[in-house]
Structure 1
Amino acid sequence: MSTNKGKDIVEGSSSRSISSDQQQQQNPPPLSRYESQKRRDWNTFGQYLRNQRPPVALAQCSSNHVLDFLRYLDQFGKTKVHLNGCVFFGQPEPPGPCTCPLKQAWGSLDALIGRLRAAYEENGGLPETNPFASGAIRIYLREVRDLQAKARGIPYKKKKKKRNPMKANDDSSTSTFPIQ
């Protein structure tokens, strides 16, 4: 007979006595797709800063570092962006291949900045010093959007909010429904 049997039960060292709270701590719920991507993006940006010569601490990170990071990412892009001199410039569906560069799509960059902006503040950064929320970043994204839209021949137009037709007619006496 084991002399420790009673001691194990009293101290709760049995594997069967783990509470549901302890199980959740051991196995946290899986992250959403957005949260996983945000974490990957944050880690990638941190790695980019550490690889700079000299390395850049997050506290010293500025919008210039973010702009350099976005330009660095262009080399991994998959979106064909026609140059001004290209015969396919301004054509939404070019009939053949060309030597124009592949770049990051504007929508991907915009989403990336949104995730990094949120991650910066979640990791202790102040909203007032957030380099991802800088005016320089907004201008850069706007320029990329406009350039890519011209290169594809598709002008970017801001979507207008749909108006609710019921709110347009505030005067209920002009109803088009017959009263019975």
Structure 2
Amino acid sequence: MSSDQQIKGKPEIGEGSSRGGGGNGRQGGGGLIIPSNSQPPPPAPPQLSRYESQKRRDWNTFGQYLKNQRPPMALSHCNYSHVLDFLRYLDQFGKTKVHLHGCGFFGHPDPAGPCTCPLRQAWGSLDALIGRLRAAYEENGGLPEMNPFASGAIRVYLREIRDSQAKARGIPYKKKKKKRNTPILKTNNEPPNFGMQQS
């Protein structure tokens, strides 16, 4: 069978299977018919980026958290207070030591020894988590104006966590300043010099 007889996605008819122009739709008994559902498998979906994978995991984790509530909570009834409860729930899995007021290491960035202060979720991790959940909420059909992750109460909570962790750990929070690109104006019409010497 020659390769020019193959038609992708359609049944293939073998040699000698039609006579006299073949316009009548009848097939001879000697032909090989390949069913149309024998197409090659579709290509694998593209690999998700690290951010997209994490966003999907976070969204599934939050959904599972709501299902585990007593009674189970539907996402459509979720508000900012449920999000705050979720953030507090996550603290038990934190890895950042946050010193308490009575601890001798309170306010010291490099404690000299171990202490019994609790481990918490770091402010930066919570802030990034809320950003991913805010995006996932809208990607899953939620209205931006109803987004519980975009509530002002969430921003206030995160700011309080940031400030209290900075004090407890003795690490001042400094907001990164955006670099301003100041264009250099040329006073003459010389071409720019890219550091290449002419020999």
Calculate the TM-score normalised by the size of structure 1: 0.82
1:172, CA displacement in angstroms? 5.7
Equivalent position to 2:92, from 54, 75, 83: 75
How big is the shift at 1:12? Answer: 2.7
Counterpart amino acid of residue 12 in structure 1: S
When structure 1 is superposed on structure 2, of 131-140 and 155-164 the one drifting more is 155-164
Aligned position for 1:101:
118
User: How big is each residue's C-alpha offset from its partner over 1:78-117, in whole Å with a ceiling of 9 and x where there is no partner?
Assistant: 0000011110000001010000000000010001001100
Q: 1:172 and 1:65 mapped to 2: Cα distance?
A: 60
* Equivalent position amino acid for 1:125 in 2: G
Provide the residue aligned with 1:7 in structure 2.
Answer: 33
Residue by residue, what CA displacement relative to the aligned partner does 1:24-79 show, whole Å, maximum 9, x if unpaired? 3xx21121111111111000000000111111100000000000000000000000
Match of 1:32 in 2: 49
Question: Counterpart of 1:39 in structure 2: which amino acid?
Answer: R
Corresponding residue for 1:58? 75
Q: Give the equivalent residue in structure 2 for 1:23.
A: 42
Amino acid corresponding to residue 44 of structure 1 in structure 2: T
Q: Please state how far the C-alpha of 1:163 moved relative to its aligned partner.
A: 2.9
Give the alignment of 1:114-129 within 5 angstroms.
Answer: 114-129=131-146
**AA aligned opposite 2:65:** Y
- C-alpha deviation, 1:138, in angstroms: 0.3
Provide structure 1 residue ranges, at least 5 long, that are not aligned to the other structure: 174-180
Bigger CA radius of gyration: 2
Counterpart CA distance in 1 for 2:59 and 2:181 is 40
Q: d(CA) in 2 for partners of 1:171 and 1:52?
A: 65
1:140 aligned to which of 143, 146, 157: 157
**Pairwise CA RMSD:** 2.0
Q: For residue 46 of structure 2, what is the amino acid of its counterpart? A: P
Find the aligned partners of 2:51 and 2:153 in 1 and give their Cα distance: 25
- Distance (Å, rounded) in 1 between the aligned partners of 2:102 and 2:162: 19
Alignment length (residue pairs): 160
Question: More helix by proportion, 1 or 2?
Answer: 1
Identical pairs, percent: 75
**Aligned counterparts of 1:151 and 1:4: Cα–Cα separation in 2:** 85
Where do 1:37-48 residues align within 5 Å?
37-48=54-65
State the SS of the aligned residue for 2:109: coil
